[in-house]
Amino acid sequence: MIDNSDRASSALTSLGISTMLVGLLLVASTSSIVGQTAEVSDAIVQPPERNQSSPNVPTDEPPKDAANRSAVAQREVPDSRRLHFPGNVGPSALDEANLTAIRKWREAESGLDKVNTKSTLDDGDDEKFHWKPALAQSSLFLGIKHGVRLFQKKTYRELDGQFFRDWGNSIKNLRGWNDGDSPFTNNFAHPLQGSVTGWIFINNSDRAKRQEFGKSREYWKSRFKALVWSTVWSTQFEFGPISEATIGNVGLRQKNGHSTAAWTDLVLTPIVGTAIVVEEDIVDKYILKNWIERKSKGVTTRVKVLRSLLTPTASFSNLLRGRYPWKREAR
């Protein structure tokens, strides 16, 4: 038979143990929550130390892994495009320079660095003189001149003899001013020839052919160059390898008591010829452009005819380059 007092004591003992276990569990859970609350409150209440920098505030100091990143960026650039700096350059500068080099390298690989970014306002830098057509037109004009001369008796009767000896003797007889030709030939025909050769230069110069008569330095500079071109052509026509001195031996004989090789053609042909170029520029600007063309309100048949007649050497030079005689570059 079991004693009731023993049963009561065992029941009390079991109840006490259960109560104690529940209490321990409550205490453990409560302490962890209180600890976390304390940590949060400490983080909010406690300010950062005076010398401690905030992680979100940028500083001048380079990051600790800057050297490693710089090395990686340097390895990404080909050897031919790597940048080399002296030892006193900081890692941040190396980062920036290497990233720039990488960007340029990638642009070069994709062809972006070949894009022409030159402004259209700089087209004047591309202006040049076109030698091949200029020499071709000058040769054509030279052939026309000598072709006409070969039909003259005084020319083809002198084709015999030793070429180089007669050529040298013709040049040696250069003397005086009067060559025995008529005033019309010396003072009008030859200067027209010089004007045509001057226009050949102007038509083949991108800058000269756009110049309009005036006080501008560019205009007079271009016409002076035309004078030089005309002088060279005229000298060759008189005494060069394909000249009056070699074809017809002009200068070997005398005419009307004067040497047929004189200074008049060498001087008047280019100088007066350039004066005719300027005169035609004046006519083209003030008579044709500002008066006749303004009234006609366009390039009519009347304008074409007057352009061809009032500027004859410019018209003939246009024919030499395969253009209509009334062609104008600026309009």
> How high is the pLDDT of residue 257?
86
Cβ pair 59, 53 in contact under 8 A: yes
- What does DSSP assign to residue 254? E
* Helix, strand or coil, per DSSP, at residue 327: coil
Place of tokens 């070429």: 163
d(CA 292, CA 312): 17
Written as one string, the DSSP assignment of 148-177 is: HHTTSHHHHTT--S-HHHHHHHHHHT--SS
d(CA 264, CA 11): 152
> How high is the pLDDT of residue 303?
96
Give me the residues paired with residue 254 across strands.
Answer: 259
CB atoms within 10 A of CB 268: 19
Domains in the chain: boundaries: 131-270
d(CA 25, CA 319): 116
Residues sharing a CB contact under 8 Å with residue 312, sequence separation 6 or more, in sequence order: 192
Per-residue pLDDT of the chain (331 residues; tens, 9 = 90+): 444 444 444 444 455 555 555 555 554 444 444 444 444 444 444 444 544 444 454 455 555 555 555 555 555 555 545 555 454 545 555 566 566 666 666 655 555 444 444 433 344 446 799 999 999 999 999 999 999 999 999 899 999 889 999 999 999 999 999 998 999 999 999 999 999 999 999 999 999 999 999 999 999 999 999 999 999 999 999 999 999 999 999 999 888 889 999 999 999 999 999 999 999 999 999 999 999 999 998 899 999 999 999 999 999 999 999 999 999 987 8
Residue-wise pLDDT tens digits, 57-69:
445 555 555 555 5
d(CA 10, CA 16): 10
Cβ pair 317, 280 in contact under 8 A: no
User: For residue 62, which of 89, 85, 86, 91 has the smallest C-alpha distance?
Assistant: 91
- What does DSSP assign to residue 69? H
Q: Tokens standing for 72? A: 């990686």
Residue-wise pLDDT tens digits, 181-219:
999 999 999 999 999 999 999 999 999 999 999 999 999
d(CA 161, CA 83): 74
* Beta strands 258-259 and 254-255, pairing class: antiparallel
d(CA 188, CA 230): 15
Supply the pTM of this predicted model. Answer: 0.63
d(CA 137, CA 196): 10
d(CA 83, CA 79): 9
CA distances from 100 to 45, 91, 175, 182, 191 (A): 45, 14, 73, 77, 64
Q: Tokens standing for 140? A: 């054509």
d(CA 140, CA 219): 27
Q: Tokens standing for 16? A: 């006490």
* CA dihedral angle for residue 181, residue 185, residue 188, residue 192, rounded to 10 degrees: -130
Cβ pair 175, 169 in contact under 8 A: no
Place of tokens 């010396």: 186
- Give me the helices (H) in 46-152, please: 66-76, 91-110, 131-149
